[in-house]
Amino acid sequence: MGPLIPQEIIGADWNLFIAFIIGIGFGFVLEQAGFSSSRKLAGMFYGYDTVVLKVFFTAAITAMLGLLFFSLFGWIDLNLVYVNPTFLGSAIVGGIIMGAGFIIGGFCPGTSVCAAAIGKIDAMVFIGGIFLGIFVFAEAFPLIKDFYMSGSFGGLKVPEVFGISSGVFAFLVIIAALIMFKLGELAEKKWPREEY
Amino acid sequence: MTVKNIVFIGMLFLGVVIAMVPENTTKPYKLTAEAMLVEVQGAAEMVSADDVAHWVISKDPSLQLIDVRTPDEFDKYHLEGAINIPLSVILRDEYRDYLDQGVKMNVLYSNGTLISHQAWMILRQLGFKNNYVLQGGLNYWFDTIMNPQEPSTLAANEEFAKYDFRKAASSALGGGGAVALTAPTQTQAEKPKVVRTKKKKAPQGGC
């Protein structure tokens, strides 16, 4: 049955409309989870609030289990699902830059838009910074192009690399997530903050 | 027990289940029985021997003939440019690139149409496109293209046109009983009356 658009069950024109609906839902959930507060996001790095870890890992596990069970029931063909290609070098460097920006600015791109929508000035400044970064990246692209394209592995999946089934990998991710949730709670007890 | 712990245990349970069930149980067959019935009744998968002869002679690069008979039969005789993918091994990975593609037009053939249709059904159910069946198979190919019968004098003009084409195609493809039968004095094989389809020119230049 699924995925709906590659199987031509619904037209590709629906892509943006569906993205719009999901985007509104995503923004709403981010705001509800308190992610429009940069203190909550920074709390992840200082250990006094690990909601970010819990929310995103729960989301990942839900999506992962959902896809695997849909595949099990024959509702989706996972071979047709797009896998973002891996460029190892740029992924590592990009991750470090993203993480640094995250803790300096107190937002990630999604939450900054969310916070700007409820009128936070720092989030608006952050969005300005994003566009400045995009501009610099685009202008400097010829210089970093070789590095950007280095370490290309195509649409790689972790279970394929280690030669285990995706079900077993999913189980390991869940175990790892539950351990991290527990560690997060211990950290919250160890470095508590009264007001933030 | 708190809600949080219930969620944790639920996640763990689902994780154990998904780790133990076999992978890729998604049904490989893409078409429902109803959709298949419609396709089979429409007979859109059939291509006529005349069309195929035309493409072979004009060396149409988009044509890929696929012989689904056994390798022995393939070695004895096969159509020009055909590749051999026997029905018994049609699901092997090495042939997948030939069978599941969107560029060429695959024409499957066997002696009759039984085996080629069996192969086509499997490929179609897997969701592969661009696979067709040579109408009548090799037997019909020999009867019509390689040894065309002259229509009776009362036949329609189109019959004669068809006959002329088949006669020409026959000599071009190395058959040629017909040429000798109808014109015993003529030794020179007629050139096939084939209109080469002009390929569309690729767009030139950029913006």
Compute the distance between CA of residue A122 and CA of residue A118 in angstroms, rounded to an integer.
11
Confidence check: pLDDT of B191 > 60 = no
Tens of pLDDT, residues B87-117: 999 888 888 888 888 788 999 999 988 999 9
Contact between A65 and A170 under an 8 Å Cβ cutoff? The reply is yes
ipTM over 0.95? The verdict is no
If asked whether residues A48 and A118 sit together in one domain, one would say: no
| Chain A contact probe: residue of B5, B23, B93 with most A CBs at under 10 A | B23
Q: Which residue has the higher pLDDT, A54 or A77?
A: A54
Cβ neighbours of B16 in A, within 8 Å: 171
Q: Give how far Cα B174 sits from Cα of B57, B76, B155, B179, B182, Å.
A: 11, 15, 27, 11, 16
Across the interface, do A166 and B23 touch by the CB < 8 Å criterion? yes
What is the mean pLDDT of the segment spanning B2-27?
82
Q: What is the CA radius of gyration of chain B?
A: 25
Residue B201 has pLDDT above 60, yes or no: no
CB contact, 8 Å: A72 with chain B?
Answer: yes
Gap between the Cα atoms of A111 and A43, Å rounded:
14
Task: Based on the fold, state whether residues A127 and A79 are members of the same structural domain.
Answer: no
pLDDT range class, residue B202, cuts 50, 70, 90: very low
Chain B contact present for A59, CB below 8 A: no
Same-domain check for residues A63 and A28 = yes
Pair A126, A107: CB distance under 8 Å: yes
pLDDT at A110 over 50: yes
CB B68 within 8 A of CB B85: yes
What are the two backbone dihedrals, phi and then psi, of residue B2, each rounded to the nearest 5 degrees? -75, 160
Q: Say if A168 is an interface residue toward chain B (CB within 8 Å).
A: yes
Cα gap B36→B23, rounded to integer Å:
27
* Angle subtended at Cα B83 by Cα B47 and Cα B109, rounded to the nearest 5 degrees: 30
CB contact under 8 A, A167 and B19: yes
| Structural domain range at position A145 | 84-156
- Within this chain, do residues A6 and A37 fall inside the same structural domain, yes or no? yes
Global pTM value: 0.56
Q: Which residue of B has its CA nearest to A178?
A: B8
Options 1.20.140.10, 3.40.250.10, 3.40.50.300, 1.10.10.10; CATH for B33-141 is 3.40.250.10
Shortest alpha-carbon distance between residue B191 and chain A (Å):
46
In this structure, the answer to whether residues A148 and A106 fall within a common structural domain is yes
